[in-house]
Structure 1
């Protein structure tokens, strides 16, 4: 009899603990952020992408000039080889092959430089956003904030839980990009003149 009462008491305790856990879990405040939308619409990401494209174009023009010069020399190589003989052709052919390898290495070096520079900046920016979302979650009393987008960790969520636009707005409001710095620099003297 004592054993059955003890088992019944234990069972009731387990059931009541499960009910308490279920009720507190139902009261959790959760939301999600569409990470691909953040990357697409965040002004600092847009500026970083623009800087990357600009630098890539500048470096590409320099390389393209050298490639065009190489192509012109390679095109005239056969005609000159006939006129100057096989010994000259062999030396010039080796020189052209060496320059072609150098151009390939130059292209690889430029790509590596761009990846290192902007990859680091991109990683820093992603870390900044993660920290911001974490702080946002703490400040606004969220128990969980999930991420969706390219790396999906939420398969379904009601639209009411999507806080992407709120976070994006605050990130963009807090970001002082080069365009805003220029605006404040030109706006500051105008305020001083009115005084």
Structure 2
């Protein structure tokens, strides 16, 4: 098993060296590109971040569903009792219900905006980290340029041989899973210490 892994690793390194020699000999600049849309779609940390905010959003939505159901029940009760309690009571209760409805709407908008801002902040941080990773990767592999394609395309055409998206995704996912294991181990130790 170890021999076969060693042989595979050696074969990959030879192939990559041949690619580097071909790229260098055919032109002076070594270039590649990353499909940024695909990267963000397949990068595990990006998926985790999206799931995290989807979960938060669903939890907040459930809270408001309960409050909305209570409000609707109160409105139904108001409508049922409006005539029996008189016009003055009905006007006062109606004003209270309108204020409560406005507070519920404001609270829902506020929570939605906060979730969007938090999500944007974390996504900006993730993008910043990915850019730094690609920059370090480019330096390590000797690239002169690494272009981004996808949603904000900066490359209109590139040969498939210059596409390093899969390799970058794999390396990012490996790095993220290692960091996640370290964080999980640290959290477990912290929890055990608290006990």
* 1:38/1:57 CA distance change after superposition, 3 Å: same
- Give CA-to-partner distance per residue, 1:55-77, whole Å, 9 cap, x none: 11111111110011111111222
Offset, 1:109: 1.0
Offset, 1:149: 0.7
* 1:88/1:53 CA distance change after superposition, 3 Å: same
**Mapped pair 1:105 → 2:92:** no
Partner Cα distance (1:44, 1:151) in 2: 20
Match of 1:57 in 2: 58
**Mapped pair 1:166 → 2:162:** no
Offset, 1:35: 0.3
Match of 2:87 in 1: 86
State how 1:40-189 maps to structure 2 within 5 Å.
Answer: 40-176=41-177, 180=181
Contact 1:31–1:142 (CA<8 Å) still a contact in 2? yes
Aligned residue for 2:148, secondary structure, equals strand
Contact 1:44–1:177 (CA<8 Å) still a contact in 2? no
Partner Cα distance (1:53, 1:124) in 2: 18
- Give CA-to-partner distance per residue, 1:111-149, whole Å, 9 cap, x none: 111112221111000000001111111111111111011
Offset, 1:26: 3.3
Structure with max Cα Rg = 1
Partner Cα distance (1:177, 1:87) in 2: 67
Partner Cα distance (1:183, 1:73) in 2: 46
Stretches of structure 1 that go unaligned for 5 or more consecutive residues are: 1-23, 186-195
* 1:183/1:115 CA distance change after superposition, 3 Å: closer
Offset, 1:170: 0.5
- Give CA-to-partner distance per residue, 1:164-187, whole Å, 9 cap, x none: 0011010001113786458868xx
Partner Cα distance (2:87, 2:184) in 1: 65
Aligned residue for 1:150, secondary structure, equals coil
Q: TM-score, normalised by structure 2?
A: 0.77
What is the aligned residue count?
163
* 1:77/1:169 CA distance change after superposition, 3 Å: same
Q: TM-score, normalised by structure 1?
A: 0.77
Partner Cα distance (2:54, 2:182) in 1: 21
Aligned residue for 2:177, secondary structure, equals coil
Aligned residue for 2:33, secondary structure, equals strand
Offset, 1:160: 0.4
